[in-house]
């Protein structure tokens, strides 16, 4: 799931926006695996690698790109969870439910669906945070 938003006429320092979003991800227990910053492009990859995230299929991978100049830039935010988790969640569901003599495919599929729903919800919630940060920075830099 990837969303791109173009921001124009806000005149904000994109490095400030980048750092605020990065700090929020760290607060959400993401581990930054790649952090590339140039004059006009800020690119971040972060992940959660805990056992819990793998088993329940929570949001695991984030990619953030902010590119442009202070009065015209794009924000790209991508959340990945269920692509890898489809197999992991199905396998986990199979193992767990096999031990319980239940319908493994159903439970594995439900786990994968639940993972996808959580990823979509996280992405939507995080876009609200991104937009609030854009507005806060725009107001403070006037």
Of 18-27, 29-38, 94-103, 126-135, minimum mean pLDDT range:
94-103
42-46 contact pairs (CB < 8 A, 24+): 42/14, 42/15, 42/18, 42/66, 42/67, 44/18
Angle at 52 between CA 87 and CA 109, to 5 degrees: 30
C-alpha span between 111 and 122 (Å, rounded): 16
Residues 5 and 133: their CA atoms lie apart, in Å, by 14
Average pLDDT over residues 35-42: 94
Confidence check: pLDDT of 12 > 80: yes
Tell me the domain boundaries of the chain: 2-140
| E strands in the chain | 2-8, 31-37, 41-47, 61-69, 72-80
Q: 75 pairs with which residues across the strands? A: 5, 66
- CB count within 10 Å of CB 9 equals 7
Position 51 scores a pLDDT of 62
Cβ atoms 116, 37 nearer than 8 A: no
Q: Who's near 101: CB < 8 A, 6+ residues apart?
A: none
Scan for tokens 């006429």, then name that residue.
Answer: 9
pLDDT, tens digit (0-9, with 9 covering 90-100), for 51-87: 665 555 566 788 999 999 999 999 999 888 644 444 4
The predicted structure's pLDDT at residue 108: 46
* DSSP designation for 50: -
pLDDT digits (tens, 9 = 90+) for 102-130: 444 444 444 444 555 667 788 889 999 99
For the chain, the average pLDDT equals 77
């Amino acid at each position: 799931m990837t969303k791109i938003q173009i921001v124009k006429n806000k005149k904000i320092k994109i490095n400030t926006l980048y750092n605020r979003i990065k700090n929020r991800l760290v607060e959400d227990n993401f581990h930054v695996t790649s952090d590339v910053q140039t004059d006009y492009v800020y690119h971040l990859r972060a992940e959660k690698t805990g056992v819990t995230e793998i088993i329940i299929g929570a949001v695991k991978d984030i990619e953030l790109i902010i590119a442009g100049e202070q009065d015209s830039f794009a924000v790209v935010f991508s959340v990945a969870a269920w692509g890898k988790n489809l197999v992991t969640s199905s396998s986990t569901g199979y193992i767990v439910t096999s031990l319980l003599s239940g319908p493994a495919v159903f439970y594995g599929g439900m786990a994968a669906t639940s993972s996808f729903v959580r990823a979509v919800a996280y992405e939507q919630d995080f876009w609200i945070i991104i937009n609030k940060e854009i507005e806060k920075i725009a107001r403070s830099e006037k």
